[in-house]
């Protein structure tokens, strides 16, 4: 708008109405006047990703009120220990499947218990031993619980106990099958009737 208020083509008029209408101010300009507004540049930034972090125990809280802090930390430690014990079983089970994969390609040797040669029960015993879990060499499923919902790492007992392997998920298992095939990944359904057993 021109800064020269004395311009003959420019005028300001005010009108007021009664009732609910507020006072209005009208500005008139010469017909040749132009008004332009620049659109502001707007940039966007992605919102930060929020990560949830589990609370951790701290020794700092014990420095204040020793009696109360000790009682609270003992209770918290017991809860963490119970949770850790439950979590250890499931973590060990998931790690068992990964360990079983490392045995693929190793030879089948009747009565063997090492990667240089093992039979089906020697293989499963070796896998569990690598995770720090001791199971019997034969009929290991007798030390476990039957399950209808197997998880990776559970035992697959087949044909009434004639064969055993490690379940790895998606209907697949790893086992030391026979001298000509050795240790391999195969479908559970390919080697007979199956029952599943777990330590969970």
What residue ranges define each of the domains in the chain, with the CATH number in brackets?
96-198 (3.90.1720.10)
Which runs of consecutive H residues, i.e. helices, occur in the chain?
Answer: 66-102, 120-130
What is the pTM assigned to this prediction? 0.54
Q: Which two tokens stand for residue 19?
A: 């009732």
Give the C-alpha separation, 189 to 177, whole Å. 14
Which token pair is 78? 């017991």
Residue among 147, 149, 158 nearest 197 (CA)? 147
Half-sphere exposure of 77 (CA within 13 A, CB side): 9
pLDDT value at position 32? 65
In this prediction, residue 142 has a pLDDT band, given cuts at 50, 70 and 90, of: confident
CA 120, CA 109: separation in Å to the nearest integer? 9
Whole-number pLDDT of residue 28: 57
- pLDDT at 151 > cutoff 80: yes
Q: Which residue has the higher pLDDT, 162 or 23?
A: 162
């Amino acid at each position: 708008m021109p800064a020269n208020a004395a311009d003959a083509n420019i005028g300001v008029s005010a009108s007021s109405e009664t009732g609910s209408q507020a006072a209005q101010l009208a500005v008139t300009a010469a017909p040749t006047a132009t008004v332009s507004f620049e659109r502001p540049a707007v940039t966007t930034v992605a919102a930060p990703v929020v990560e949830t972090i589990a609370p951790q125990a701290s020794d700092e809280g014990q420095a204040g009120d020793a009696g109360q802090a000790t009682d609270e930390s003992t209770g918290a430690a017991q809860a963490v220990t119970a949770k850790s014990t439950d979590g250890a079983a499931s973590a060990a089970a998931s790690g068992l499947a990964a360990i079983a994969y490392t045995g693929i390609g190793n030879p089948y040797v009747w009565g063997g218990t090492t990667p240089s040669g093992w039979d089906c029960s020697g293989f499963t015993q070796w896998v569990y031993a690598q995770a720090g879990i001791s199971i019997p060499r034969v009929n290991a499923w007798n030390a476990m619980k039957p399950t209808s919902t197997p998880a990776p790492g559970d035992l697959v007992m087949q044909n009434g106990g004639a064969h055993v392997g490690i379940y790895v998920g998606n209907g697949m298992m790893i086992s030391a099958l026979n001298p000509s095939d050795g240790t391999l990944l195969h479908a559970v359904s390919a080697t007979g009737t199956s029952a599943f057993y777990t330590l969970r």
